[in-house]
Structure 1
């Protein structure tokens, strides 16, 4: 009896190609489960994590009772942020301030004074300055929070139980 017949079968029963394919599959399974290699991302090797503070500005937020919103931020002490449509999670609210809206009003003597805006429709529009704190990975390109670079001008979405609005980063401080 020949080991390999004219049709390429071993001992007349098993095809050489089928046997080769089966061996490749077995080696792949052994390689995946018994020798998985290194875990984790190569991009995170040697990256340090430091506390950062981020100042955000919110302009023209339509809210009926801005003081209630400020109180909610102060009571919770945390808010969820979304950077470039990627959820990051909760960060600390270090401070929040309601900015007064003023208008430049020319005076009879030619000078200009900043006076509170008297328009009724502007009473429901608020400007806020919010300082958030958290831990970010510090890379050579700057701080990374939630797998997104956090730099001045980056749009950030804040989300809580009763609010969801956008803000813009105006300052980043690495501690």
Structure 2
């Protein structure tokens, strides 16, 4: 009896193609269940999570009652953030500091002094620095909050009950 007949069957009963297909299926099943590797985990899940603080600057925010908004931000203690048009969760408001609106005024002797802005419309404009706190995943390329990288210059949209405005990151600190 021949091992391989004229039709490509082993011992006249089993086709070589069927045997090859069965071997491929067996290897795939072995690869999936016996040697799973890291294919089921994301790379983000493997990085460490640390508390961070992010300083953001808000320039020229138009608001009817700037002091009322400052009080509200300090009392609420949390705000929702949106980074690159993607909701990134909620963070703590650690501190809010108002920045004075000043102008460089030349003096008769040629020097320059920084004096308060006398324009009435500037009473409805607020500059401030806010410190936001939360947890971030630390990667080789920086902090990731809500799936979005946070670096100096990143625009963060702050959203609350009755406000929605943009700010720019000026510092990122890990604790």
The interval holding the TM-score normalised by the smaller chain is 0.7 to 0.9
Distance 1:84 1:97, change over 3 A: same
Offset at residue 98 of structure 1 (A): 1.0
Q: Which residue number corresponds to residue 81 of structure 2?
A: 81
Tell me the alpha carbon deviations over residues 8-38 of structure 1, each in whole angstroms, 9 at most, x when there is no partner: xxxxxxxxxxxxxxxxxxx9xxx8xxx7x77
Partner SS, residue 70 of structure 2? helix
Distance 1:169 1:120, change over 3 A: same
Q: Which residue number corresponds to residue 111 of structure 1?
A: 111
Partner SS, residue 110 of structure 2? coil
Partner SS, residue 42 of structure 1? coil
Q: Which residue number corresponds to residue 94 of structure 1?
A: 94
RMSD between aligned alpha carbons? 1.9
Distance 1:39 1:71, change over 3 A: farther
Corresponding pairs, count: 143
Structure 2: runs of 5 or more not aligned: 1-24
Aligned equivalents of 1:66, 1:121: Cα separation in 2: 12
Aligned equivalents of 1:40, 1:158: Cα separation in 2: 34
Q: Which residue number corresponds to residue 170 of structure 1?
A: 170
Offset at residue 42 of structure 1 (A): 2.2
Structure 1: runs of 5 or more not aligned: 1-26
Where in structure 1 do 4 or more consecutive aligned residues deviate above 4 Å? 37-40
Q: Which residue number corresponds to residue 60 of structure 1?
A: 60
